[in-house]
């Protein structure tokens, strides 16, 4: 089931726009929208979102752990499944790191997120798993640079903090969807 969801989302050419309550989501302090709201005393207009191009065979999916480490899970089978679909993969340096329960320090994990967005050879970013550590690095991300390199960012659970920040501060369309460790359950289906 997760395979079908991910493939459908990545290959979609649908035009996603924030609607309803999404278009009126609160803005983060320190963002352009918050400054505009303070000046005019009302909420800014809906943020224009950047939708990345659909993935095609041969594209590279960056795999990172913006929060918890993967522990003793063997992620090779899930990575192999992405290769069988025709994608190349790139594993972030901190993905296999252990810093307490996290996959590296906050600075290391944020550097991986920034590096994958800056790398034009990476067309999508897939999170390994969620965890509290995702929100600990929000102030270390380069939102201006990220906005200049739109690409799919996929994950759920505590990764939602990153979805919100990337959407509000970089104007990106992100995907609240399955993570790499989900593909280990039931053989990647």
pLDDT of residue 130: 84
pLDDT of residue 188: 44
Q: How far is it between the farthest Cα atoms of the chain?
A: 53
Q: Report residue 9 as tokens.
A: 């989302």
> Distances from the Cα of 61 to the Cαs of 25, 35, 43, 46, 72, in angstroms?
29, 35, 36, 30, 22
User: Does 84 have pLDDT greater than 90?
Assistant: yes
User: Does 39 have pLDDT greater than 50?
Assistant: no
Average pLDDT, the chain: 78
- pLDDT tens-digit series, residues 99-124: 888 888 999 999 999 999 999 999 99
Instruction: Tell me the average pLDDT across 184-189.
Output: 55
Out of 64-78, 92-106, 173-187, give the one with best mean pLDDT.
92-106
């Amino acid at each position: 089931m997760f395979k079908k969801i991910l493939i459908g989302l990545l290959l979609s050419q649908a035009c996603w726009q924030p609607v309803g309550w999404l278009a009126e989501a609160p803005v983060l302090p320190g963002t352009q929208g918050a400054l505009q709201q303070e000046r005019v005393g009302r909420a800014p207009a809906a943020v224009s979102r950047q939708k990345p191009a659909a993935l095609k065979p041969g594209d590279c999916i960056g795999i990172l752990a913006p929060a918890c480490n993967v522990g003793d899970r063997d992620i090779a089978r899930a990575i192999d499944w992405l290769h069988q679909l025709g994608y190349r993969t790139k594993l972030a340096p901190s993905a296999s790191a252990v810093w307490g329960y996290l996959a590296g320090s906050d600075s290391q994990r944020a550097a991986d997120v920034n590096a994958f967005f800056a790398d034009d050879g990476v067309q999508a970013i897939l999170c390994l798993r969620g965890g509290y550590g995702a929100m600990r690095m929000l102030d270390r991300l380069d939102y201006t640079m990220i906005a200049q390199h739109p690409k799919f960012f996929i994950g759920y659970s505590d990764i939602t903090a990153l979805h919100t920040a990337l959407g509000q501060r970089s104007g990106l369309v992100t995907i609240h969807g399955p993570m790499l460790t989900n593909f280990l359950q039931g053989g990647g289906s």
